Amino acid sequence: MVPQSVGILGAGQMGAGIAQVMAAHGLRTRMVDVSLAALERGLGAIRSSCERLVKKDAMSEVQKTELLARITTSTHIQDFKECDFVVEAIAENVELKLKVFAQLDEICQKSAILCSNTSSISITKIAAATKRPQQVIGMHFMNPVPLMKLVEGIRGLQTSDETLKAVRTLTEELGKEFIEVKDMPGFAVNRILMPMINEAVYTLFEGIASVAAIDQAMKLGTNQPMGPLTLADFIGLDTCLAIMNVLYDGLGDSKYRPCPLLVKYVEAGWLGRKTGRGFYVYEGK
């Protein structure tokens, strides 16, 4: 089943990126967030991403105009009632997710598939907040969504084969690679990536090397496109901390203890690029 009308809940960097790739593939896309300002920021990010693609001939002006025309926005979650496929991309807060999935279950068509772009929270738990757990699944995109090829498909305990197949098919239609992973804390990508980032923060905390040296070490020493501290700022330090806490609580192993320096930065509101300060300072934010 290829959806006719897709809903994206959350217009942050992930939500906007997901809306962009859905619309790029001809799907009518409705993006919902709580404020007009958030929607405007999301649309702005989509426009500037499209402009970068046009500049390097990966998209024509006409395609850009058509893509933007396929995206409608709203501040009312009820506006998802026509959608047959919804992807939630709000903050990594379990209580909030349970609440919105219960709402989506009431609002959306009976046949609609409800996906979460959560980077670490249990899909089984999210699905249990609805009366259609067989149609709830994790569809985890990577940032920046228009460029990154991977989608993790996370099957909750009650997710049906049909739902898994529909998400795999859509992922392939979007030109991305689908991998199926088990519903365990952090799934596959963040189970591996976040302890690496956390360890980079410990390396800084213990005075082993400077921010720049840690990033150079991993860029030049392991051919990563971004150093781990640059990547942490890019993802958002609040998101990194939330994921480490899910790993720590969910797996009960002290090796996942979030670095105290990461906790302090989040307490200070130094959340990375989005707030203008993380491990680096970003001018003009």
Nearer to ligand CAA, 212 or 226 (CB): 226
If 0-12 CB within 10 Å is exposed, 13-18 middle and 19+ buried, where does residue 143 land? middle
Binding region for ligand CAA (CB under 6 A) out of 33-41, 96-104, 186-194, 209-217: 186-194
Residue 146 binds ligand CAA (CB under 6 A): yes
Among 92, 117, 122, 152, which one carries the catalytic annotation? 152
Distance of alpha carbon 86 from alpha carbon 108, whole angstroms: 9
- 254 part of the active site: no
CB of 118 to ligand CAA, least distance (A): 8
Nearer to ligand CAA, 161 or 223 (CB): 223
Residue 122 binds ligand CAA (CB under 6 A): no
# binding residues, ligand CAA (CB under 6 A): 19
Residue 189 binds ligand CAA (CB under 6 A): yes
Nearer to ligand CAA, 38 or 218 (CB): 218
Residue 59 binds ligand CAA (CB under 6 A): no
- 122 part of the active site: no
Binding region for ligand CAA (CB under 6 A) out of 140-148, 154-162, 199-207, 264-272: 140-148
Distance of alpha carbon 79 from alpha carbon 99, whole angstroms: 17
The crossing angle, in degrees rounded to 10, of helices 13-24 and 61-69 is 110
CA angle 138, 141, 144 (to 5 degrees): 160
Query: 237, 283 in Cβ contact below 8 A?
Result: no
Among 121, 139, 231, 246, binds ligand CAA (CB under 6 A): 231
Residue type, 144: P
Distance of alpha carbon 127 from alpha carbon 115, whole angstroms: 9
Residue 56 binds ligand CAA (CB under 6 A): yes
Nearer to ligand CAA, 113 or 218 (CB): 218
Residue 119 binds ligand CAA (CB under 6 A): yes
Tokens 């006719």 belong to residue: 4
**Which residue number has the CB closest to ligand CAA?**
119
Residue 74 binds ligand CAA (CB under 6 A): no
Residues with a known catalytic role: 119, 140, 152, 190
> Contact positions toward ligand CAA, by CB under 6 A?
49, 52-53, 56, 119, 142-144, 146-148, 189-190, 193, 225-226, 231, 235, 239
